[in-house]
């Protein structure tokens, strides 16, 4: 495997920053041996013109030390019974070896040595090198070096969000984003100001990134205005990104500007979601009006905008539609896409729909919302579904009941019923 292939295969396995913000964990049990071996190889890298093959070898040999930000590394260590600290080389940065060598690596003309420097700085948590790294993301010409210097800044939680914003616009693959999840975990106030400064940029990618950032920052009147203006004025090809942020922030008073968006297939679905998520009654009532105006099958996009909502009243309405209106047999939803569906607040509504609905696809998916339930009504509903004529309903009900501790399921008859449903599935 080439250096380029290896370096990007590791890079593109980064997990979300939530994993990075864990409390410090223990490094593998063989830390002392591993560290001593690493120091020896690190010294060798300083004294020679590091080759692609040698750096590839260090990647493989010291993944727990050099790439703690990789989910592949973390999974491998977990399977071996180890957990990695956020900064596994934290102690190394205080050694004289590090202090006297890191600038030598950073200024090397050898791209593999510079890559090693970026990895070691990130893994040691050395935020004192931020200014050097900020310069590197402006001056590096080698793609691998450029990405790793930027990743080091992101991993260190750098608050120079505008410089990093411009770096992402130039270097992130927004069709398969890997650095963006790290970027949006940075200081929210700083991110918001960066978004304000870049939302009217001439580059479409900068506009897109700016509104994506705003979707994870604190809403206020300025943000509301900027996003609504973007919805009104942006090209149809990128307008949906601004609409998405409006939806996420639950901005209201949308109907006048959003109604025309329902006529375009490029914006209809996300515009419906924004209207359904709005705190304004007029916005939501318009969605309900569209549903009531259909006298036969409820369109899938109208069902979807209710199901994806952050509002419990929309979810209740969605459940009523499932058991009272004609629903397309091709309509699909997934319980684990909507955390509210398993909440206590909506349990009775879920139970009612499971009792009344006749559609196998709805029953086999919705029953999974009862996964943690041991109350009598939930158990009785699932026992009845175990006897349903549709095998998929029986199977997913049985899967949902596996491990359930309800006394009603302890009889041999119930256990046999569950086993048959699982086997048939």
Cβ atoms of 69 and 155 within 8 Å: the answer is yes
pLDDT on residue 175: 63
pTM reported for the whole predicted model? 0.84
pLDDT on residue 27: 42
Q: Coil, strand, or helix at residue 412? A: helix
Which residues, at least 6 apart from 221, have a Cβ–Cβ distance to it below 8 Å?
none
pLDDT on residue 20: 36
Cβ atoms of 182 and 70 within 8 Å: the answer is no
396, exposed or middle or buried, with CB in 10 Å at 0-12, 13-18, 19+? Answer: buried
pLDDT on residue 278: 98
Question: Distance between CA 409 and CA 232 in Å, rounded?
Answer: 57
Handedness of CA 93, 98, 103, 109 (dihedral sign): negative
252 alpha carbon, distance to own chain's centre: 25
Question: Distance between CA 96 and CA 44 in Å, rounded?
Answer: 16
Per-residue pLDDT of the chain (425 residues; tens, 9 = 90+): 443 444 444 344 443 333 333 333 444 434 555 578 899 999 999 987 899 999 999 988 888 888 776 666 666 666 777 677 789 899 999 999 999 999 999 999 999 999 999 999 999 999 999 999 999 999 999 999 999 999 999 999 999 999 999 999 999 877 666 788 889 999 999 999 999 999 999 999 999 999 999 999 999 999 999 999 999 999 999 999 999 999 999 999 999 999 999 999 999 999 999 999 999 999 999 999 999 999 899 999 999 999 999 999 999 999 999 999 999 989 999 999 999 999 999 999 999 999 999 999 999 999 999 999 999 999 999 999 999 999 999 999 999 999 999 999 999 999 999 999 999 87
pLDDT on residue 172: 82
């Amino acid at each position: 495997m080439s250096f380029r292939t290896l370096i990007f295969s590791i890079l593109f396995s980064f997990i979300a920053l939530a994993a990075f913000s864990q409390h410090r964990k223990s490094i593998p049990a063989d830390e002392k041996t591993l560290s001593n071996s690493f120091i020896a190889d690190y010294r060798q890298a300083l004294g020679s013109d590091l080759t692609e093959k040698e750096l590839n070898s260090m990647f493989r040999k010291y993944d727990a030390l050099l790439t703690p930000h990789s989910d592949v590394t973390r999974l491998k260590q977990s399977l071996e019974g180890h957990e990695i600290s956020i900064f596994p080389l934290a102690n190394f940065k205080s050694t004289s070896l590090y202090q006297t060598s890191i600038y030598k690596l950073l200024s090397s003309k050898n791209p593999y040595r510079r890559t090693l420097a970026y990895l070691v700085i990130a893994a040691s948590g050395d935020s004192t090198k931020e200014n050097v790294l900020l310069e590197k993301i402006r001056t590096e010409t080698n793609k691998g070096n450029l990405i790793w210097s930027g990743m080091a800044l992101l991993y260190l939680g750098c608050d120079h969000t505008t410089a990093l914003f411009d770096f992402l616009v130039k270097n992130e693959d927004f069709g398969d984003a890997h650095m963006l999840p790290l970027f949006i975990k940075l200081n929210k106030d700083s991110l918001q100001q960066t978004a304000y400064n870049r939302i009217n940029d001439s580059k479409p990618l900068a506009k897109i990134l700016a509104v994506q950032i705003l979707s994870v920052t604190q809403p206020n009147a300025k943000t509301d205005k900027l996003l609504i203006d973007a919805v009104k004025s942006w090209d149809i090809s990128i307008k949906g990104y601004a609409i998405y942020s409006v939806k996420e922030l639950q901005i209201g008073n949308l109907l006048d500007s959003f109604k025309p968006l329902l006529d375009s297939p490029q914006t209809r679905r996300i515009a419906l979601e924004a209207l359904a998520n709005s705190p304004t009654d007029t916005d939501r009532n318009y969605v309900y009006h569209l549903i009531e105006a259909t006298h036969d099958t409820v369109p899938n996009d109208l069902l979807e905008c209710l199901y994806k909502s952050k509002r419990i009243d929309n979810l209740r309405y969605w459940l009523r539609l499932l058991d009272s209106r004609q629903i397309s047999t091709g309509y699909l939803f997934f319980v684990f896409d909507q955390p509210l569906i398993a909440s206590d607040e909506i349990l009775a509504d879920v139970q009612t729909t499971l009792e009344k609905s006749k559609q196998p696809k709805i029953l086999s998916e919705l029953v999974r919302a009862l996964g943690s339930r041991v109350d009598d009504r939930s158990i009785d509903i699932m026992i009845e579904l175990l006897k349903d004529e549709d095998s998929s309903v029986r199977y997913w009900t049985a899967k949902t009941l596996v491990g359930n501790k309800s006394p009603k399921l302890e009889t041999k008859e119930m256990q046999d019923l569950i086993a048959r449903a699982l086997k048939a599935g």
